[in-house]
Amino acid sequence: MGTSELADRPADDAASTTPTDGPPRRRAWHLSIVLPAYNEEANIIEAIRRSRSVASRLCEDYEIIVVDDGSRDRTAELVRSEAARDERVQLVTHDDNLGYGEALRTGFRAARLDLVFFTDADNQFDLNELAGFLPWIDKVDVVAGYRMNRKDRLIRRFFARSWNLLVRSLFYVPVRDIDCAFKLFRRHLFDSLDLESVGAMVNTELMVKIGRSGAGVVEVGVTHYPRTAGAPRGAHPKVILRALLELARISRRLQRISAGQMPVQTRRDRPPELRVPAGATPAKVAVIGGGIAGCATALRLAEEGHAVTLVERSQRLGGLLVSFSVGGTPIECFYHHIFPHENDIIDLITSLGLADRLEWHASTTGVLTSGRIWPFTSPRDLLTFSPLPILDRIKAGVGALRMRRVMEWRSLDKVAAADWLRSFCGEAACRVLWEPLLEAKFGPSWSEVPAAWMWGRVHQRNAARQGMGEKLGYLRGGFKAMFDALDTELRRLGVTVQTSTGVDRIVVEDGEVRGLETSQGVVEADAVVYAGAHSTLAKLLPDGVSDPRWGQIGSLGVLCVVLQLRRKVSDIYWTNVCDPTLPFGGMIEHTNLLPPSDYGDRHVVYLSRYYTSDEPIAQADPSSEAERWVGLLVDHFGLAREDVLEVNAFRTPFAAPLVSLGYLDRLPPLEGPVSGLYVTTTAQIYPQDRGMDEGIKAGYRTAEVVRDTVLARPRALV
């Protein structure tokens, strides 16, 4: 997902939210300032003056591009006069009034410098606050302002709020203030976004496409001032009508575009990133764990020219994506899919030559309670959900929309998820829906789950929505093909891939990592990356070498029972089980997403149950438990025993970390307690949950830290 963070700050202290300490200072930023203008003769000279003053103080190079959108006053004449005196000022004119969106698109095309900032020419913002934006652009792709104290007229604020609610019901938007005209971008983003809007829809289209692109976004609060000259047009009926018509036209296109069809930059498209300096010795890095995070770390380091050994205990790479066969087709033992905004996994699949196998399907969701499955895919489904009284249904729906607008999650780390959900959706919805779902996932620890984790799930599912539905991606023929291709690519890049190899210990001498002792022998290394289950790391290290936070995080295991049936159980892909008489918490009908013909005309159904280590199911025999589940399923849905063709049970003691209140205080750092040890596990991707895209992000981030720290310290030349 493009990531989004919030940086709140007082209006009179622009430097207080910059990611570095100290006052803003002139840096090597090259900035294009775009000012769209229509009939702004009373404001334009002051807007240029303010832009020049701020840019000359903060940036090494800058340009000011004024786009006159067919003004009927002296706007163009005044700008032309300024441009004659200052070569950094450029005027671009439209003969006719083409619209706000077209003016911005023209300005973006004219921009030639690395960074692009746009704001309106009405002087309702203090451009000095750009000082709080520029330092962030070194870390993210977009810095978006949000108005902390909007000073527009009441009617305009009403239309703006209504527009926000409408847009958010259709799309995932990674910012709270969609139309705030105070945004800073890296210019290369515009090379692939292909904006179409010519009117006020442009900000919505821009931020929706950025959200789907996976670009990093941070939000910073800005002060908003009343307009003192000129006439606003945002609430004009013609502007509103044009925006609604554009929304109807463009939303259909956006809904048809799956993330797999969005422009992505593959590794082969990028310039070489061999960052080992000339004459330096490449680092020797050992990676423990052949799951997605370990593979991503090894891949990135190998691309950069380092000598990598990847050690995996199992016979194949894949981690929790291990597969078996149904009807001759590989399928995961533990269900997996991807979301449309997960560009890192989409990028990887594309770069491995598997893009033609990645398919996007409309997903359906249901809730099993009160003796039946209730569809729960659309707002209309919620309105017909009779286990809740009608007023509670409305309250739950409004609460769900409000939760999607919450962008700051760190303050939710010490708030119970149930309390947070209750505050938005009401007591009844929490009792009937949310509490059973939390209990199905976290067992007896459900009341300790932080709201930050729930926030992550809300935004993840929201990002998957396209229009009024949800799209999910699956690699036709199973994700085994991706790991097979990864294995081939890693070996091509020179990685030593050791499968069926256990690690006995991590060798530490004089406070530094020296390598591994494995079942296949010794692996010498300047750095070791541990990408396995966090609970087993301490056992591989010498006594006294540990981080106490590793032992403060519990684990969730999972039992997955995979059924092969003659017929489907329901028409729903993902059913959340809120029925206390059934021992499983989820029923995922894989062949309601993929056709049964892929699996020998068998219907594939996953029954899943997460558990903590102190629950009886943790010690139960998986086969016996599977038989019990099948019997209950047959009785509940009126299946015949002969409808059940085959049953396979799979269990892992570590599927996800057990998150609890105050988890941020226990979050282990990436760098370990000894020099050269790095730790990247699912316990560290909070508030996100386990997922391939998050694993890839973690792996890439780890590779960058390894590269920067290992190359910086003295190493013996061999």
Task: Report the pLDDT value the prediction gives residue 544, as an integer from 0 to 100.
Answer: 85
**What residues have CB less than 8 Å from 261, skipping those under 6 apart?**
none
Would the pLDDT of 348 be above 50? yes
Task: Report the pLDDT value the prediction gives residue 439, as an integer from 0 to 100.
Answer: 93
Quickly list H helices, 592-691. Answer: 622-637, 663-666
Task: Report the pLDDT value the prediction gives residue 141, as an integer from 0 to 100.
Answer: 85
Q: Taking residues 650-659, report their average pLDDT.
A: 93
Task: Report the pLDDT value the prediction gives residue 491, as an integer from 0 to 100.
Answer: 96
Task: Report the pLDDT value the prediction gives residue 27, as an integer from 0 to 100.
Answer: 64
Q: Taking residues 340-352, report their average pLDDT.
A: 86
Task: Report the pLDDT value the prediction gives residue 461, as an integer from 0 to 100.
Answer: 76
> Mind listing the pLDDT tens digit for each residue in 562-571?
999 999 999 9
The tokens for 346 are 């989409």
Q: Which of 167, 658, 697 is nearest to 404 (CA)?
A: 167
Task: Report the pLDDT value the prediction gives residue 140, as an integer from 0 to 100.
Answer: 80
| pTM of structure | 0.69
Task: Report the pLDDT value the prediction gives residue 4, as an integer from 0 to 100.
Answer: 39
> Domains of the chain by range and CATH?
4-17+27-257 (3.90.550.10), 281-324+478-549+660-710 (3.50.50.60), 380-464 (1.10.3110)
The CA-based dihedral angle spanning residues 189, 459, 177, 99, taken in that order and rounded to the nearest 10 degrees = 50
Higher pLDDT, 40 or 203: 40
What sign results for the dihedral spanned by CA atoms 699, 702, 708, 710?
A: negative
Percent share of the chain, pLDDT over 70: 84
Would the pLDDT of 711 be above 80? no
Do the Cβ atoms of 590 and 331 come closer than 8 Å?
yes
Do the Cβ atoms of 519 and 502 come closer than 8 Å?
yes
Sheet holding 521-524, edge to edge: 503-509, 512-518, 521-524
- Angle formed by the axes of helices 692-710 and 343-351, to 10°? 80
DSSP code string of 354-382: -GGGEEEEEE-EEEEETTEEEE-SSHHHH
Out of 3-12, 74-83, 92-101, 378-387, least confident range: 3-12
Task: Report the pLDDT value the prediction gives residue 658, as an integer from 0 to 100.
Answer: 94
* DSSP code of residue 472: E
Task: Report the pLDDT value the prediction gives residue 317, as an integer from 0 to 100.
Answer: 95
Residue 526's pLDDT band, with cuts at 50, 70 and 90, is very high
Would the pLDDT of 508 be above 80? yes
Q: Tokens 């009341």 appear where?
A: 447
Task: Report the pLDDT value the prediction gives residue 7, as an integer from 0 to 100.
Answer: 42
Higher pLDDT, 468 or 665: 665
Task: Report the pLDDT value the prediction gives residue 407, as an integer from 0 to 100.
Answer: 78
Residue 155's pLDDT band, with cuts at 50, 70 and 90, is low
Out of 15-24, 66-75, 93-102, 470-479, least confident range: 15-24
Q: Tokens 């430097």 appear where?
A: 15
Count CB atoms within 10 A of the CB of residue 42: 18
Task: Report the pLDDT value the prediction gives residue 703, as an integer from 0 to 100.
Answer: 92
CA 132 – CA 356 distance, rounded (Å): 43
Task: Report the pLDDT value the prediction gives residue 465, as an integer from 0 to 100.
Answer: 63
> Mind listing the pLDDT tens digit for each residue in 397-449?
999 988 987 878 889 999 999 999 999 999 999 999 999 999 999 999 999 99
Task: Report the pLDDT value the prediction gives residue 713, as an integer from 0 to 100.
Answer: 59
DSSP code string of 165-216: HHHHHHS--SSS-TT-SEEEEEGGGHHHH-----STTHHHHHHHHHHHHT--
Angle subtended at Cα 500 by Cα 497 and Cα 504, rounded to the nearest 5 degrees: 95
Task: Report the pLDDT value the prediction gives residue 182, as an integer from 0 to 100.
Answer: 95
The tokens for 434 are 């949310």
Q: Which of 429, 423, 426, 445 is nearest to 369 (CA)?
A: 429
What sign results for the dihedral spanned by CA atoms 475, 478, 480, 484?
A: negative
Task: Report the pLDDT value the prediction gives residue 459, as an integer from 0 to 100.
Answer: 81
> Mind listing the pLDDT tens digit for each residue in 460-474?
777 666 544 678 999
Would the pLDDT of 74 be above 90? yes
Task: Report the pLDDT value the prediction gives residue 262, as an integer from 0 to 100.
Answer: 39
Task: Report the pLDDT value the prediction gives residue 437, as an integer from 0 to 100.
Answer: 93
Residue 333 Cα to chain centre, angstroms? 25
Would the pLDDT of 519 be above 80? yes
Task: Report the pLDDT value the prediction gives residue 221, as an integer from 0 to 100.
Answer: 87
For 516, phi then psi, to 5°, come to -130, 150
Q: Taking residues 82-93, report their average pLDDT.
A: 95
Amino acid letter, residue 422: R
Task: Report the pLDDT value the prediction gives residue 254, as an integer from 0 to 100.
Answer: 57
Task: Report the pLDDT value the prediction gives residue 215, as an integer from 0 to 100.
Answer: 74
Residue 168's pLDDT band, with cuts at 50, 70 and 90, is low
Do the Cβ atoms of 99 and 38 come closer than 8 Å?
no
> Mind listing the pLDDT tens digit for each residue in 229-244?
766 654 556 666 766 7
Task: Report the pLDDT value the prediction gives residue 47, as an integer from 0 to 100.
Answer: 95
Residue 712 Cα to chain centre, angstroms? 31
Higher pLDDT, 263 or 350: 350
> Mind listing the pLDDT tens digit for each residue in 492-506?
999 999 999 999 999
Out of 193-207, 338-352, 421-435, 637-651, least confident range: 193-207
CA 69 – CA 75 distance, rounded (Å): 10
Amino acid letter, residue 191: D
Task: Report the pLDDT value the prediction gives residue 527, as an integer from 0 to 100.
Answer: 95
